[in-house]
Amino acid sequence: MTTKTSPEGSAIKSRGRFLAVSVLALSLGLGAVPALLSAQVATQTQDGQTAIVPPPGQPVQAAPSQEAPPSFADLVERVSPAVVNITTTSTVAAPTNPMFPDGSPFGDLFRDFRGPGGPDDGPGDGMPNGPFGRGGPQRSNALGSGFVVSADGYIVTNNHVIDGADEIEIEFYSGKKLPAKVVGTDKQTDIALLKVDTGSDQLPFVKFGDSDVARVGDWVLALGNPLGQGFSASTGIVSARNRELSGTYDDYLQTDAAINRGNSGGPLFNMNGDVVGVNTAILSPNGGSIGIGFSMASNVVNKVVQQLRDYGETRRGWLGVKIQDVTPDMADALGLPKPEGAMVTDVPQGPAADAGMRSGDVITKFAGGDITSSRDLVRRVADAPVGEAVDVVVMRNGKPEDLKVTLGRRELAEGTSQPGSSVDTTGGSEEDLLGMKVEPMTPEIAAELGVGRDSKGLVVKSVDPEGVAADKGLNAGDIIIEAGQSPVNSVTELHDQITQAKEAGRKSVLLLLRRAGEPRFVALPIE
């Protein structure tokens, strides 16, 4: 079995699998497959040439030429003056000895391993700091890469390259070194913008390209400072697009160009010499390149850099809703033609609530563009201007509704959302239904579950492990707030919604649950 590691020791979920992703910063003091392109089949013709034979009923198409360029030397020579090495210095607290507490009789024994001298010795005794050395602060160095994006000295890199640094030094391709200051950072996309004082000099710089037109199979060139070895070039292709790692705004190009620790923050160029990605992470069992690298797409980075340059911070739009993807079961339960859009699970106080948006609405259009998924909506909202009204179309009770929402600013709103209000109750009795046992919420049950005494809905008391509720992930303690997009506070009301769904010819009933305070829709089969 291959073990995948990361410096931070974090597991990252990517398309339903947990992958450990190695972040590409070299610290000197610290230790899903894309779809098939077509069903065409390659065969040998009588003259020995390769022909592309399509399935029956489709015309034969000539294969476009995808020959590798004879050399990347001209491209490397043209763009390399804008690529830089970055060295950071930071002060870190010395590690303490975790093995024995202060006053332990074994403390004297381990002090002996430090050799002559001790905590009061001067700095020239040659003993290292650390568990068996002196306990003072240490100076730590780290290396990374970056690239110049303006003649007056703005430089782009990864946030993790310069995070916590006391001093930042930029080494240019010519060998010249200059100190840099941080203009702004964005941890969401792991991007940082630096600035050097160039005086009257004009620096060579590179431009951002359009990452949306990058295709799987396109040639790319990666430049940077791998493993602290200095300027280095590697080539490969775009292996996949729209990869997600762990961030809300992730949009990575995957490449097989060799990138390693120290390449962090370096550019990924297309064949025109435009930056289409910022090298950020690799998937690796040993910390070295195995041909699976990730570069944050330039169309994401360019917008972040512009905001950091203008404001010193990011300013993203905020809609004020909690959302999830629409599954095929949900689409059937809602009567939607296909499982697209973003399902609204909760509408706390904010722009969407002010515009009349409701829990259970499915957002299908935002600012004139179709919404295919919740991820799509998050990106579009983030890119929308703060304080301006945008047109939003939602599907509600099977009909489109036009709303106009004036967006807030996400950075100011994070952490301020309040839970939605409770619905009215009518009472009822405990009953087994759809593979679960439910009963109306009471103040006593609310106290037992640790929720507000005025909470309403139906409480799932137990779940049949062989039933449909268990298959859909329902657990004891879940609170059913709605069924069929109507409040349910009694078993009778839940029965009624199931009956209505069956009469409408639907195979599922849509439930709105609240688990640990978080809302979520589940389409529960009723056949």
Average the pLDDT over 519-524 and give the result.
90
Out of 27, 232, 264, 490, pick the active-site residue. 264
Sign of CA dihedral 295, 301, 305, 311: negative
How confident is the model over 72-84, as a mean pLDDT? 95
> Of these residues, 160, 239, 251, 478, which one is catalytic?
160
C-alpha span between 170 and 201 (Å, rounded):
15
Rounded to 5 degrees, φ, ψ at 216 are -60, 125
Strand-pair partners of 268: 222, 277
Identify the CA nearest to 361 among candidates 370, 352, 369.
352
> Contact at 8 Å (CB) between 473 and 467?
no
User: Residue 297 has which token pair?
Assistant: 């797409």
Helix (H) or strand (E) holding 11: strand 11-14
The rounded mean pLDDT for the chain is 78
pLDDT of 99 above 60? no
Burial of 445 per CB tally in 10 Å (0-12, 13-18, 19+) = middle
Rounded Cα distance between 410 and 316, Å, is 6
As a whole number of angstroms, the distance between CA 156 and CA 487 comes to 51
Average pLDDT of the segment spanning 472-493:
88
pLDDT tens-place string over residues 281-303:
988 887 788 899 999 999 999 99
Q: What pLDDT score was predicted for residue 359?
A: 92
**What domains sit in the chain, N to C, each tagged with a CATH number?**
1-29+70-88+141-314 (2.40.10.120), 94-117+125-136 (no CATH), 317-413 (2.30.42.10), 431-525 (2.30.42.10)
Give SS3 for 168. strand
- Whether 14 has a pLDDT exceeding 90, the answer reads no
**What pLDDT, in 10s, does the model give residues 124-163?**
333 344 444 455 567 778 889 999 999 999 999 999 999 9
Q: Is 190 a catalytic residue?
A: yes
Contacts of 398 (CB under 8 A, 6+ apart): 334, 335
The pLDDT-based confidence of 77 (bands split at 50, 70, 90) is very high
- Flag whether pLDDT at 102 surpasses 90: no
- Bigger pLDDT: 247 or 228? 228
Please indicate whether residue 160 is annotated as part of the active site: yes
Indicate the range of 115-124, 195-204, 490-499 predicted with least confidence. Answer: 115-124
Give mean pLDDT, residues 17-34.
Answer: 39
Beta bridge partners of 18: 13
**Higher-confidence position of 84 and 61:** 84
CA-CA-CA-CA torsion sign (335, 336, 339, 344) = negative
DSSP code string of 288-340: S-SS-EEEEEHHHHHHHHHHHHHHSS---EE---EEEEPPHHHHHHHT-SSS-
- Cα 283 from chain centroid (whole Å): 15
**Arithmetic mean of pLDDT, 60-82:** 77
The tokens for 422 are 């409770």
pLDDT of residue 55: 55
Q: Which of 22, 27, 90, 190 is catalytic?
A: 190
Instruction: In whole angstroms, give the CA distance from residue 169 to residue 266.
Output: 15
Q: How far, in Å, CA of 335 to CA of 320, rounded?
A: 26
pLDDT the model gives residue 344: 94
Q: Return the structure tokens found at 352.
A: 């969407």
pLDDT at 116 over 50: no
Collapsed DSSP state (helix, strand, coil) of residue 494:
helix
Average pLDDT rounded to a whole number, residues 302-318? 92
The CA-based angle 19-22-23, given to 5 degrees, is 125
